[in-house]
Structure 1
């Protein structure tokens, strides 16, 4: 039986010896071009077979040889690099496209073994690197036909839109490293900027730090000159909470309650965003534990006096899209990021010029209804805690 490409990699790694293999793994850790492999995963590769398997799962059968050749030449094993190119007929440089699709492992947003997945969820969204702009005539028609039912969008020359982006990738428990999450961050930041939001970005926060970040974001003075905001948080999660990077079995209290996002951005604590759309996007698992009804509203102990114009709804103008329904997992492609972010970016990029936010979210949910591209994996995004009395159009470009 002829040898596979993976077999040839194993032979080359065997030839390197213990010291050469150590140099190879160190150089692989230092590699900056995407896709990258986390140090924890590389350290788990104990022999040539493990390392070859890791190269296949990350770079695929077409990409692993160029990367291997690149590293072999960098550490001075030119003879082995030449031999590998001759035996496989490969050796071209690996494309460094920020979102190049390939069949690699898929993992859920929690720690654990990686099931196999045969294709990227969306095979062409990354090729269209622009948000479709809205036309002035479309905006004028919407305003004239449904002006009282549409949230006001301020003129681009005077508004100051802010968006909060929190992405937890590296956890104290190395097994919880969210491979591919850096791609989600790149894509989501790009989308928000295309929609004219200045992105306030944080990475690898504890629960306490997440709370401070949301609280500080709510206090930003720019909201007074804004017409809306986005809050995006990506991490591991439970049914009603997001895990901080210090979360471990010995420190299970490092969790940030989703409810606090609404509390800090409500009319009382964030007056700058009163009566303005607040879009919450959360990518995290919600399975594995039971508890109280997620994000439920409690009844007040006593009736409050209402005095005419002084009254405002404490929580209003919110809409959130969760990556999955309660008690279920959210899947993540180790190279291209989560299915959730891929679909959110794709839908908003293509349809935000003509659809309001609820319709955009419906389109995202429809993507998950079509399970064909997700193989055997089942995940359903869902809207939650919506309190928007009007239609929110982003009118990109205007």
Structure 2
């Protein structure tokens, strides 16, 4: 009998009695990261603004790998996540990133690491890219530290244009290996047949437009973020108790195979296809169950492979 299991990184069902406790936790997290709006006139070079590609000469990567959680959260251990964590950590190091790995991080542990990054302003000025990978339990809009849930938006806002101006116009990539709900993704089974060799793909067209700026520009707080999710909104995310998650496994493999002409969008699109169409959960009666990763881009430039930092 195969003892390896595919399980989901789901969150517990919260009863009405827990609502007030969670609200206090969220308030604590929000108050801890709140800062006065920095809406005054900063400076930025026009050449930097007009670049078509991000210039990545150095990068910071943080992998947060949560396996065991406080008893009161009623969350199972995330067996197999160490495989994911070591794989991503190694890959980021190979790409030349200043990498760090946090195991079983509480909210305070995460905040200490993020504040350490933000406080080193000289290093941030030289940093071309920030990557944060969170491997944990989650739900629709939150992820779990070992002691509490935290809104995804709250975590990402720590590095927005207002709170971390040193990273303005630089890519900030957040990778989430976590459930986003309790649903199971479904698909249809279709027979694969040979394509007609005379059939051409339709070409997509787009129109370009120019936006004229005055002397002052405003950078949206949401600009230059890329959120990468292991599953679609509302659905569970699988993880094998021995091999780790299919999403992180495919992402690590694609990063390893990344070619000179690849950009990060291509990498993520290939991961979407390999997990969405190639992964079959290893548990009884899985039938037509699927997992469809996705990414949401607020990037304002092209993001080439991360090889300039080597």
What is the TM-score normalised by the length of structure 1?
A: 0.54
Q: 2:52 aligned with 1:149, yes or no?
A: yes
Instruction: Please give the alpha-carbon distance, in whole angstroms, between the structure 2 residues aligned to 1:185 and 1:370.
Output: 24
Q: 2:149 aligned with 1:255, yes or no?
A: yes
Q: 2:283 aligned with 1:383, yes or no?
A: no
Q: 1:308 to 1:336 in 2, by over 3 A?
A: same
Whether the 8 Å contact between 1:169 and 1:235 is mirrored in structure 2 is yes
Please report how far the alpha carbon of residue 212 of structure 1 lies from its aligned counterpart in structure 2 after TM superposition: 4.1
Please report how far the alpha carbon of residue 216 of structure 1 lies from its aligned counterpart in structure 2 after TM superposition: 3.6
Instruction: Please give the alpha-carbon distance, in whole angstroms, between the structure 2 residues aligned to 1:274 and 1:111.
Output: 33
Higher strand share: 2
After superposition, give the CA deviation of every residue in 1:342-381 in whole Å (9 maximum; x if it has no partner).
0110111112532111121111111123146446341111
Q: Which residue of 1 aligns with 2:254?
A: 347
Q: Which residue of 2 aligns with 1:169?
A: 67
Question: What aligned pairs does 1:41-56 form with structure 2 within 5 A after superposition?
Answer: none
SS in 2 for 1:165: strand
SS in 2 for 1:202: strand
Of the three residues 164, 167, 170, the one matched with 1:276 is 170
Instruction: Please give the alpha-carbon distance, in whole angstroms, between the structure 2 residues aligned to 1:218 and 1:353.
Output: 31
Q: 2:236 aligned with 1:336, yes or no?
A: no
RMSD in angstroms over aligned alpha carbons? Answer: 2.6
Please report how far the alpha carbon of residue 307 of structure 1 lies from its aligned counterpart in structure 2 after TM superposition: 7.9
Q: Which residue of 2 aligns with 1:86?
A: none
Of the three residues 260, 263, 288, the one matched with 1:356 is 263
Q: 1:314 to 1:307 in 2, by over 3 A?
A: farther
Question: What aligned pairs does 1:153-232 form with structure 2 within 5 A after superposition?
Answer: 153-154=56-57, 159=58, 161-173=59-71, 176-221=76-121, 222-232=123-133
Instruction: Please give the alpha-carbon distance, in whole angstroms, between the structure 1 residues aligned to 2:90 and 2:137.
Output: 22
Q: Across the two proteins, how many residue pairs are aligned to each other?
A: 235
Instruction: Please give the alpha-carbon distance, in whole angstroms, between the structure 2 residues aligned to 1:226 and 1:175.
Output: 36
Please report how far the alpha carbon of residue 310 of structure 1 lies from its aligned counterpart in structure 2 after TM superposition: 5.8
Whether the 8 Å contact between 1:234 and 1:284 is mirrored in structure 2 is yes
SS in 1 for 2:99: strand
Higher helix share: 1
Question: What aligned pairs does 1:234-253 form with structure 2 within 5 A after superposition?
Answer: 234-246=135-147
Runs of 5+ consecutive residues of structure 1 not aligned to the other structure: 1-52, 58-103, 113-146, 247-253, 290-305
Instruction: Please give the alpha-carbon distance, in whole angstroms, between the structure 2 residues aligned to 1:362 and 1:202.
Output: 28
SS in 2 for 1:358: helix
Instruction: Please give the alpha-carbon distance, in whole angstroms, between the structure 1 residues aligned to 2:56 and 2:109.
Output: 32
Please report how far the alpha carbon of residue 150 of structure 1 lies from its aligned counterpart in structure 2 after TM superposition: 1.3
Runs of 5+ consecutive residues of structure 2 not aligned to the other structure: 13-49, 184-212
Instruction: Please give the alpha-carbon distance, in whole angstroms, between the structure 2 residues aligned to 1:372 and 1:288.
Output: 18
Q: 1:321 to 1:207 in 2, by over 3 A?
A: same
Q: 2:181 aligned with 1:287, yes or no?
A: yes
What is the TM-score normalised by the length of structure 2?
A: 0.69
Instruction: Please give the alpha-carbon distance, in whole angstroms, between the structure 2 residues aligned to 1:352 and 1:341.
Output: 19
Whether the 8 Å contact between 1:236 and 1:285 is mirrored in structure 2 is yes
Instruction: Please give the alpha-carbon distance, in whole angstroms, between the structure 2 residues aligned to 1:215 and 1:310.
Output: 27
Please report how far the alpha carbon of residue 208 of structure 1 lies from its aligned counterpart in structure 2 after TM superposition: 4.4
SS in 1 for 2:272: helix
